[in-house]
Structure 1
Amino acid sequence: MSVIRQPGIMGRTTRHRVVGVTVALTAALIETIAVGLWFGLVVGSRSTSTALAGLGILFCGSLLRTGVVGVAIDEPADLLRPHRLGAALALTAGWIVWLYVAEWIGGVPGVAIATLILVGVLTTQFVFERRVFELRSPVRPSVASVLSATLLAVGGAVLLVSVWFVDAAIVSPPISLEITTVVLRIEPVQLGAVVFGLLAFVAHQRRFRRLIET
């Protein structure tokens, strides 16, 4: 029987797509802001206060993103339960380990090795996060989880490259106003954050589409 003749199926499919795009956009926005602010505070020279502030921002963002997963599978329960806090802590630790490895090794090898490690950490965290909300979910990672983790890790690599290897900024011609002249300047890390956000959206869209449909 044609799907067109089954409005219930069409309505459910459309609803799944709308929900998938909405939660993916929300998760990507949260992750971009959290990772971007944390990265901006701790990359390069850092103090104890900036490191602690960045850690707090990163953890809060991870906790909110974990909550988005619960909403995606229709279980928006208390985020402060121990196992759900554990999922947020695992995500936070993954980004910290990624930056530590990249800085410890340094250069292009550091970026490459840290990216591979982040793929593994994020894939494991995705599986754990799904187990937190769905007790009967598979233990082994799915292809969608690996692809989503890879996209996010590549986005992280773009952030590192934009800070470590790109010096040129985009500067607009002077814009004359009535009382002053304005020059727009776009730094490489800002472009890196935009690329990270786009990759995060694609990654979460693939992942949440599978979560919602299963």
Structure 2
Amino acid sequence: MSRITKPDVAEWLSMSVIRQPGVLGRTTRQRVVGITAALSAAALETLAVGLWFGLVAGSRTTSTALAGLGILFCGALLRASIFGATVNHLQDLLEPRRLGAATLLTACWVLWLFVADRIGGQAGLALATGTLTVLLTCQFTFERRAFGRRSIRHCSFVPIVPAVLLALGASALLSAAWFVDWSITSPPLSVEVATLIVRIEAVQIGVVVFGCFAFLAHQRRFQRLLERCP
């Protein structure tokens, strides 16, 4: 009677996994889809929130407020379309519950800035960050139920960590605009008939930091949904 050693068992297990059709391919495909969707969602959210924040942080008039809301809502609707196409087949985005998901996300950002402005200072920043975390957790859950297929709608995943990451990115953006007062200016660069001067301000660094946190938040969110709720 032959004796099976530990290396033989390990080799048999590895070969059995490789022989199963689609196991490794499915895992790789899920990771690629999740990273691609996270990059797209983060880019859209960074662009929309950055433009909206730049408009309302400057001259707060009725026209700039309406323009900012329009940009924010369009960005939320496009981000929702990416989420829907990733976790389910892309369908009509103008259904009430899908419009509701985009409207809820827009309201999250508006309430976040309202709370921060209303209280002000570091206390306002901290309270606004906590408020945004709760609001985003609710919005992510609602969006999953509105767009996801049956297995994803009934998944037990609670998106607290993605909400915290995105709220921290928003906190970095607001901190850069409120508490950091510096800029970097390059020496004048002569290009034929023009002179170029590159100026980098703190709020622009804040937008980049926000984009990084947005990618981490969406990447974790998509990864958990695609792996735990196939």
- For the superposition of Structure 1 and Structure 2, which TM-score range results when normalised by the shorter chain? over 0.9
> Could you list the runs of 5+ residues in structure 1 that have no partner in the other structure?
none
Q: Deviations over 1:137-178 (max 9, x none)?
A: 248662xx1111111111111111111111100122333444
Of 128, 132, 145, which residue of structure 2 is paired with 1:131?
Answer: 145
Structure 1 residue 179, shift from structure 2 partner:
3.7
Structure 2 CA distance for partners of 1:8 and 1:195, relative to 1, 3 Å: same
The residue correspondences of 1:146-161 to structure 2 (distance < 5 A) are: 146-161=160-175
1:103 equivalent among 114, 117, 120: 117
Structure 2: which 5+ residue stretches go unaligned?
1-12
Map of 2:5 onto structure 1: none
Once residues 44 and 109 of structure 1 are traced to their aligned partners in structure 2, the CA distance between those partners, rounded to angstroms, is: 22
Identity over the aligned pairs, expressed in percent? 59
Q: Which range moves more in the overlay, 177-186 or 8-17?
A: 177-186
Residues 88, 147 of structure 2: 8 Å contact kept: no
Paired residues, number = 212
* In structure 2, C-alpha distance between the alignment counterparts of 1:30 and 1:148, rounded to whole Å: 16
Equivalences for residues 48-197 of structure 1 within 5 A:
48-134=62-148, 135=150, 137-138=153-154, 142=158, 145-197=159-211
Deviates more, 1:147-156 or 1:169-178: 169-178
SS in 1 for 2:174: helix
Q: In terms of mean alpha carbon deviation, does 3-12 or 67-76 score higher?
A: 3-12
Q: Name the SS for the 1:186 alignment partner.
A: strand
Residues 157, 224 of structure 2: 8 Å contact kept = no
Equivalent-residue separation in structure 1 for 2:72 and 2:191 (angstroms): 39
Measured on the aligned residues, the alpha-carbon RMSD in Å equals 1.6
What are the Cα deviations for residues 78-120 of structure 1, in whole angstroms up to 9, with x where unaligned? 1100011111111000000000000000011111100000000
Structure index of larger Rg: 2
